Chain A
Amino acid sequence: MKKLSFYFLFLSISITSFAKNNADTINAGLKLPAGFSATKISEGLGRARHIVVSQQGTIFYKSSKLVNGKGIFQLKNLNGKAELITSFGKYIGTGIAIRNGYLYASSDEEVFRYKLNEKDEVLNPDQPEKIITGLINRHQHESKSIAFDNDGNIYVNIGAYANACQEKDRTLHSKGRMPCPVLDSAGGIWQFKADKLNQTYADGIRYATGLRNVVGLDWNAQTNSLFVMQHGRDQLHDNWPEFYDTKQSAELPAETMYELHRGSNCGWPFIYYDPMQHKKMLAPEYGGDGKKSWDEYLNENKNGGLVIVNYKYNQDKTSLINDMDYARKAYDKTIQDPAIAFPAHMGPNALLFYTGNQFPEKYKNGAFIAFHGSWNRAPELQKGYFVVFVPFKNGKPTGEWEIFADNFAGGDQFMEPNKAQHRPCGLAQGPDGSLYVSDDVKGAVYKISYKK
């Protein structure tokens, strides 16, 4: 009997391990809604940040690591596997997009473009045109993501080179700088012309401010407006342990989506968004205590307090000719509310409005978001490492989001981010309506498709 139960134990172990192996190959290890399937079409080439697929199905992605001195990879999808066609671009970076016959790509300081012919061949891989130059890169939130509108403009994220604009970055009890000088050249979205060469800050417009770091952004053709995903601030407990314990710090603040318009202010570093209370809160660096909301602060400071002083300072300091909206906004104390808020620290690295016809009707014009996965939840378990879907109605999120593709990390019970086997970082829509997801751990590219 004893022998028999031992045998059963052995059998069940081998069955579970078989099931596990099998699961790894089914849908490339991903968990997907019914009817969807995934294949891993490429792996091992650099660290795939953002990705784009042309009308002919050619895949380009930008890597944050050079392989043989190159940081852009061009692949062609052949029978379920993607083959490397060529690589070029002697710089690391994140942003990549196709517009009007050009491939655009960004380093952490510049934006370039390459002319494509009708066969998607890059004609001048070593002599790209330089569209934007001299953007700030200070070793933190340095990636420059890009998006286009339909009026010939390109939008670039310039992340804040700080966590919360403290006198000393990430330091216990260090107060917020007033005014916050980071905002004169970072912490927002800048607008440039998509086809003008060698533009610098002076040619651009500070389109939106008060955004700590945006990696995922996309133009919504339905609303004709830019949507962005902000990475919320870190280290509430580390720097302000008297106001936040480690559990609260793991759940605060929200990762937030904003619909931007010229002159939008989303409030960093003065506020953060609390996803449980659904409130903008005064940041501890600027006198907050985890309890005082931004509305309460404004009631006590009817003239707009922090925000107004800061607007005026950053307006005077940079006095950009194109910055009239910023000047007008200097007398408007509104900090915008998010379109939708997500759990803390999950790191939204890509946003894509789905306009394809392959997926079921509910996905049309809704938003996919690639969450890179958290680190600042420790000592709690980490979260994120998945792709989320947010249904939209009349250009607004309907409020309920769902996990669309899960298990990139290969498990969800870990405290250390380096345990994650893959981390979603970029999203692209193929010409047939398939969804591509890139990963910056092993440079994997997934293709997700739907069949009735």
Chain B
Amino acid sequence: MKKIFSVILFLLFVVFVNAQTNQQTLKASIDRGQKIYFKVCLSCHMLDGGGVPHMNPPLSQSSYVLGDKAKIIYIILHGLETREPIDDEYYSNNMAAHTDLNNQQIADVLTYVRNSFGNKASAVSVAEVKAVRSKKK
């Protein structure tokens, strides 16, 4: 009985430590992502992620940002000039491809975007970026 108890205790400890390190890696990724956002995305999507009316779409509460991760990874890799409405609005500008960003940087900046401006969504991993990059355009 005592043995079982200590095993459970040990398992709980492992889960706890794991959660802690997950929290820490998430925070580290968000911090790195913020630096990238300020450098490359802020000039169009703005400090508050609110975008520019009819020009650059908001990233706060955007169905793209909160939706399919592969889709937004693709947008960072290849840009966006679809001329299709985003959350029922048209935007009269083009987003460039950000080919100068590596997989880690894209994972970080999207993790930042998905956890800022009132957004709360899971992190984007390097593996997920890698998978989208390896697919043909």
**Do A and B associate with each other?**
yes
Identify which of A140, A168, A235 contacts B97 (C-beta below 8 A). A168
Q: Secondary structure of the B side of the interface?
A: loop
Quick check: is A141 within 8 A (CB to CB) of the other chain? Answer: yes
Q: Is A317's CB within 8 Å of the partner chain B?
A: no
Assess whether A157 is interfacial by the CB under 8 Å rule. Answer: no
Produce 1/0 per residue, A167-179, CB < 8 A to B: 0111110100000
Answer whether A418 and B81 are a contact pair too, CB < 8 Å, given A168-B97, A172-B96, A378-B42: no
Q: Is the CB of B96 within 8 A of A168?
A: yes
Q: Is the CB of A378 within 8 A of B46?
A: yes
Cβ of A376 under 8 Å from chain B: yes
Interface residue? B48 (CB, 8 A): yes
Known: A417-B53, A418-B50, A418-B52. A169 touches B94 (CB 8 A): yes
Whether B17 is near chain A, meaning CB under 8 Å from some CB there, is: no
A window 361-391: CB within 8 A of B: 375-376, 378-379
Given contacts A140-B92, A141-B92, A168-B96, contact A379 B47 (CB under 8 A): yes
The 0/1 profile, CB within 8 Å of A marked 1, for residues 40-71 of chain B is 10111011101111111010000000000000
A90 at the interface (CB under 8 A from B): no
- Contacting residue for A140 out of B43, B50, B51, B94, CB 8 A: B94
B residues in contact with A376, CB < 8 Å: 43
CA gap between A97 and B137 in the complex, in Å: 45
Nearest-neighbor residue (CB-CB) of A416 within chain B: B46
Report the minimum CB–CB distance from A95 to chain B (whole Å): 16
Q: How far is the CB of B33 from chain A (nearest CB, A)?
A: 17
Q: In the complex, which of the residues A141, A142, A169, A416 contacts B47, with contact meaning CB atoms closer than 8 Å?
A: A416
Please give, as numbers and ranges, the residues of chain A lying within 8 Å of B40 by CB-CB distance: 238
The distance from the CB of B130 to the nearest CB of chain A, in whole angstroms, is 22
Interface size on A, residues (CB 8 A): 24
Q: A417-B53, A441-B53 are in contact. Are A378 and B43 (CB under 8 A)?
A: yes
Question: In this complex, what residue of B is CB-closest to A166?
Answer: B96
Partner of A417, one of B42, B46, B81: B46
A316 to chain B, nearest CB (A): 28
Q: Tell me which residues across on chain B come within 8 A of A415, comparing CB atoms.
A: 46-47
Which of B52, B83, B95, B98 interacts with A375 by CB under 8 Å?
A: B52
- Decide if B20 is an interface residue (CB 8 Å cutoff): no
B54 CB contact (under 8 Å) in A64, A169, A235, A416: A64
Please name the residue on chain A nearest to B91 by beta carbon. A139
Point out the residues of chain A lying under 8 angstroms from B95, CB to CB: 170
B93 within 8 A of A: yes
A69 CB to nearest B CB, Å = 15
Q: Which residue of B lies closest to A234 (CB)?
A: B43
Known: A417-B52, A418-B53. A170 touches B46 (CB 8 A): no
Within 8 A of B (CB), among A243-287: none
In the complex, A171 Cα to B93 Cα: how many Å? 13
Find the B residue at minimum CB distance from A162: B94
Q: Once the chains bind, are A171 and B46 in contact (CB under 8 Å)?
A: no
Distance in Å: Cβ of A401 to nearest Cβ of chain B: 25
B-chain residues with CB within 8 Å of residue A174 when the two chains form the complex: 96
CB neighbours of B94 from chain A (8 A): 139-140, 169-170
Digitize B69-87: 1 where CB-to-A-CB distance is under 8 Å, 0 elsewhere. Answer: 0000000000101010000
Q: How far is the CA of A262 from the CA of B52 in the complex (A)?
A: 35
Smallest beta-carbon distance B89→chain A, Å: 9
Residues of B within 8 A of A441 (CB): 53
The reply on A237 being an interface residue by CB < 8 A is yes
**Chain A contacts with B in 136-174, Cβ cutoff 8 A:** 139-142, 168-172, 174
Q: Give bound CA distance, A140 to B82, whole Å.
A: 12
Complex Cα distance A416/B52, Å?
A: 8
Q: Give Cα A60 to B137, complex, Å.
A: 47
B92/A238 in contact, CB under 8 A? no
B38 (CB) vs chain A CBs: closest residue: A379
- Contacts of B79 on A, CB cut-off 8 Å? 168, 171
- A142 touching B53, Cβ below 8 Å: no
Q: CB-CB < 8 A to B54: which residues of A?
A: 47, 64
Q: Which residues of B contact A168 (CB under 8 A)?
A: 79, 96-97
Contacts of A418 in B (CB 8 A): 46, 48, 50-53, 58
With both chains docked as a complex, state the minimum distance between the C-beta of A67 and any C-beta of chain B, in angstroms.
Answer: 15
| Inter-subunit contact A139/B81 (CB<8 Å) | yes
Per-residue CB proximity of B97-115 to A under 8 Å, as 1/0?
1101000000000000000
Minimum CB–CB distance from B117 to chain A (whole Å) comes to 11
Known: A379-B43, A441-B53. 15 other contacts (CB 8 A): A139-B83, A139-B92, A169-B81, A170-B94, A172-B98, A174-B96, A375-B52, A375-B55, A375-B56, A378-B42, A378-B43, A379-B38, A379-B42, A379-B47, A418-B51
Interface, chain A (partner B; CB < 8 A): 47, 64, 139-142, 168-172, 174, 235, 237-238, 375-376, 378-379, 415-418, 441
A-B contact pairs, 9 of them (CB 8 A): A139-B81, A168-B96, A172-B100, A375-B44, A378-B46, A379-B42, A379-B47, A417-B52, A418-B58
Enumerate the 7 nearest inter-chain pairs by beta-carbon distance, A residue then B residue, closest first.
A171-B96, A375-B52, A170-B96, A418-B50, A416-B46, A139-B83, A169-B94
Query: Using a CB–CB distance below 8 Å, which chain B residues touch chain A?
Result: 38, 40, 42-44, 46-48, 50-56, 58, 79, 81, 83, 92-98, 100
